[in-house]
């Protein structure tokens, strides 16, 4: 697959250089420049929030570093977790004297390194907690939800927890809010075309010119089924039904909806999907408080989309609406 | 090419339905629902600004309907101009008693229909003027710049003229600002993969798996050369050199830069390109006042990017920074 890039080895560093050049609130730090922190972080007296993961998902993760979201981010190679040292640096960059929440997606490599980093900074007197994004319902059964991978829904956990931290909540409280957001969040994706890791010989998967895959992960992890491409309305209906079958009834009164492009899929298509999702929610008497439709968490040029629902109460809704200042979050007052 | 869509005939209407459902400031009107207006338009005593063109370029055109940008938009089928009746409706939706600027891209079909619509509304006492976006330097020689096509740069003309209108300028003044923005704007694109019009049997063009095309238009119009894909730095250098060779020296002191994805091209790649463009501008002593990097004017799933420069003075810079409220414009204070 063709890309506008130079040497594959330089892909991540050149991307980060451009990202920070375009967004002066983002600062590169860490020994190898793989930590991105808010130029205004750490904020004294504020609970810090750190995240991280592999590159290739912009705007996730680094694009959400900013006031009212996450303070810093450790970033790895494309689709590869960040190094332990960078996780340590990122936690320190977020520490404003009241502890740091580690809030990232549930992937084995990321967990191992963030856990080790947590132990290392504890020795220096920084208290940390962990909440893992695990919203991808296709990646494990409901009774094993702790095994689920984190995908686009993580952004709304950033937003809720980030707003709580900005409002002065302590570490336990920020952690509670993040966990509550994760608990009420469900996502499912579908893919039409793969992406390719820079320098790799082949795309992340192969798929027939008339096929789609339901439930595929953002690194091309296998989904639930692969069949002939269905009309958008059928795809939207199935994604919505699967999410609602998984989200506890108690959280189905009022929702925020996120229709996210995996990369190549156009806004046109996302709006066609959203239109059907909205109708399905209306029909069930579920109120959409806010829809977000666009590129939030991608897999480079992968084609497809994900649908996320978060069931909110007044607290979460207010935190999601609270003003933030970050390159890739639009305020939703 | 696979898309998340239903019947091709329903593509545009379903997209518009979803767009307006997701963004309550956008209202569908017109006989066939092909006019999108700001819910707050027309604003009494404000000069109106109308635009329009074919679908398939979101966020352009309809995504920029909002306060401080354009008031209304007539939208056609994918890559096909809007109907005369819809242009008339869109002009009327923008008229707040002080006249309407028609500000759209320089394509024959759009011009014919907007010109006719202008004549029709003049009979009803609505004064209109026209400024055409013609920023694509690959589409005609400098001495024939009036023949150039309008591409991504149109958005910054919306922004400047929209701010002037919002600040109370009269029609002549808003028209002058739009013309000034267009005069100082240059864009060039490059394409790696084509897109496909819904329902069409084939993609808009074919290109080898190792090839790129420099200067291609947003509907797949032929460019300047087609060769083996070059490294991103070479592509960025050539695009920048071509723009600077075309933009009068007097407008090369301070610029806003727009690095725009044509659709499938990832933010990663755009930032790699922007990094190099920034270095090239720095080396020449040209000040980047603001960079915009993202999806601004696409061709559905086409892969590639465009680079735009606008040479600004204090007036244009202030107008571009002025606050606006629109689904797809981020304020750049």
User: Average pLDDT of chain B?
Assistant: 97
pLDDT in tens, A194-250: 999 999 999 999 999 999 999 999 998 999 999 999 999 999 999 999 999 999 999
B288, B261, B262: which is closest to B275 by C-alpha? B288
The rounded radius of gyration (Å) of the Cα atoms in chain B is 19
Structure tokens at A61: 């993760």
Torsion sign (Cα): A24, B282, B238, A8: negative
Identify each DSSP E strand in chain A by its residue range.
26-29, 35-38, 48-55, 72-78, 100-105, 128-133, 185-193, 211-214, 225-228, 254-261, 287-294, 303-311
Which residues of chain A make contact with B6, given a CB cutoff of 8 A?
Answer: 231-233, 272
Which residues of chain A make contact with B19, given a CB cutoff of 8 A?
Answer: 271
Nearest Cα residue in chain A from B332: A327
Which residues of chain B make contact with A212, given a CB cutoff of 8 A?
Answer: 2
Interface-testing mutation among A1, A2, A4, A228, with chain B (most B C-beta atoms within 10 A): A4
Overall average pLDDT of the A83-112 stretch: 97
B178 pLDDT band, cuts 50/70/90, is very high
Please check whether residue A6 is in contact with residue A128, taking contact to mean a CB–CB distance below 8 angstroms.
Answer: no
pLDDT in tens, B187-244: 999 999 999 999 999 999 999 999 999 999 999 899 999 999 999 999 999 999 999 9
Interface-testing mutation among B54, B266, B324, with chain A (most A C-beta atoms within 10 A): B266
Q: What is the pLDDT of residue A286?
A: 98
CB B6 to CB A267 under 8 A? Answer: no
Cα–Cα dist A330/A324, whole Å: 8
- Percentage of chain B beyond pLDDT 90 is 99
Residue A166 has pLDDT above 90, yes or no: yes
Please check whether residue A243 is in contact with residue A137, taking contact to mean a CB–CB distance below 8 angstroms.
Answer: yes
When CB atoms are compared, the residue of A190, A264, A276 closest to B263 is A264
Residue A19: partners with Cβ closer than 8 Å, 6 or more residues away? A26, A36, A58, A62, A63, B271
Overall average pLDDT of the A130-137 stretch: 98
CB A272 to CB B6 under 8 A? Answer: yes
Cα–Cα dist B198/A19, whole Å: 33
CB B264 to CB A269 under 8 A? Answer: no
Count CA atoms closer than 13 A to A291's CA, side-chain side: 27
| C-alpha to C-alpha distances, A286 to A155, A240, A244, A251, nearest whole angstrom | 22, 12, 10, 10
CB A192 to CB B3 under 8 A? Answer: yes
Tell me the CATH number for domain B8-183: 3.40.50.10440
Residue A187, preceding peptide bond in cis (omega within 30° of 0): no
When CB atoms are compared, the residue of B18, B271, B278 closest to A15 is B271
Overall CATH class of domain A11-183: alpha beta
Q: What is the pLDDT of residue A11?
A: 98
CB A265 to CB B58 under 8 A? Answer: no
Overall average pLDDT of the B154-181 stretch: 98
In the numeric block, the tokens 């086409």 are attached to B302
Nearest Cα residue in chain A from B293: A22
Residue A197 CB-density burial (10 A; 0-12 exposed, 13-18 middle, 19+ buried): buried
Q: What is the pLDDT of residue A129?
A: 98
Annotated domain spans of chain B: 8-183, 185-321
Overall average pLDDT of the A77-100 stretch: 98
Residue A59, preceding peptide bond in cis (omega within 30° of 0): yes
pLDDT in tens, B102-119: 999 999 999 999 999 999
Cα–Cα dist A329/A306, whole Å: 18
A333 pLDDT band, cuts 50/70/90, is confident
Overall average pLDDT of the B162-191 stretch: 98
CB B268 to CB A11 under 8 A? Answer: yes
Please check whether residue B96 is in contact with residue B48, taking contact to mean a CB–CB distance below 8 angstroms.
Answer: yes
Cα–Cα dist A119/A125, whole Å: 10
Please check whether residue A37 is in contact with residue A90, taking contact to mean a CB–CB distance below 8 angstroms.
Answer: yes
Cα–Cα dist A64/A49, whole Å: 11
Please check whether residue A306 is in contact with residue A153, taking contact to mean a CB–CB distance below 8 angstroms.
Answer: no
Q: What is the pLDDT of residue B147?
A: 95
User: Average pLDDT of chain A?
Assistant: 97
CB B275 to CB A55 under 8 A? Answer: no
CB B275 to CB A232 under 8 A? Answer: no
pLDDT in tens, A110-132: 999 999 999 999 999 999 999 99
Which residues of chain B make contact with A271, given a CB cutoff of 8 A?
Answer: 14-19, 22, 58
When CB atoms are compared, the residue of A4, A22, A209 closest to B269 is A4
- What is the architecture, at CATH level 2, of domain B185-321? 2-Layer Sandwich (3.30)
Which residues of chain A make contact with B266, given a CB cutoff of 8 A?
Answer: 3, 56, 58, 263, 298, 300-301
Which residues of chain B make contact with A275, given a CB cutoff of 8 A?
Answer: 14-15, 17-18, 21
Nearest Cα residue in chain A from B1: A209
**Known catalytic residues of B?**
57, 219
Q: What is the pLDDT of residue B333?
A: 87
CB A274 to CB B233 under 8 A? Answer: no
């Amino acid at each position: 697959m063709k890309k506008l890039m130079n040497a594959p080895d330089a892909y991540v560093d050149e991307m980060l250089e451009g990202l920070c050049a375009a967004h002066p609130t983002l600062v590169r730090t860490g020994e190898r420049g793989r930590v991105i922190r808010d130029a205004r972080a750490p904020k004294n007296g504020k609970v810090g929030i750190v995240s991280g993961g592999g590159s290739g998902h912009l705007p996730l993760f680094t694009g959400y570093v900013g006031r009212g979201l996450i303070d810093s981010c450790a970033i790895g190679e494309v689709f590869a977790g960040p190094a332990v040292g960078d996780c340590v640096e990122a936690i320190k960059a977020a520490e404003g004297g009241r502890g740091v929440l580690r809030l990232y997606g549930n992937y084995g490599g990321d967990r191992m390194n963030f856990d080790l980093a947590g132990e290392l900074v504890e020795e220096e007197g920084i208290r940390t907690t962990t909440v893992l994004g695990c919203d991808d319902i296709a990646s494990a059964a409901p009774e094993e939800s702790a095994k689920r991978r984190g995908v686009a829904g993580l952004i709304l956990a950033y937003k809720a927890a980030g707003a709580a931290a900005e409002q002065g909540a302590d570490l336990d409280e920020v952690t509670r809010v993040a966990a509550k957001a994760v608990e009420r969040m469900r996502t499912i994706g579908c893919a039409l075309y793969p992406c390719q890791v820079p320098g790799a010989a082949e795309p992340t998967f192969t798929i027939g010119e008339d096929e789609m895959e339901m439930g595929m992960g953002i690194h091309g992890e296998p989904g639930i089924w692969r069949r002939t491409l269905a009309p958008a309305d059928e795809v939207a209906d199935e994604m919505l039904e699967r999410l609602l079958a998984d989200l506890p009834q108690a959280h189905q009164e009022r929702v925020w909806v996120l229709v996210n492009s995996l990369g190549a899929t156009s806004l046109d298509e996302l709006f066609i999907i959203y239109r059907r999702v909205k109708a399905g929610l209306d029909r069930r008497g579920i109120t959409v408080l806010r829809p977000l439709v666009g590129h939030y968490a991608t897999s480079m040029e992968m084609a497809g989309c994900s649908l996320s629902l978060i069931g909110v109460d007044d607290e979460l809704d207010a935190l999601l609406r609270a003003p933030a200042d970050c390159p890739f979050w639009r305020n939703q007052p």
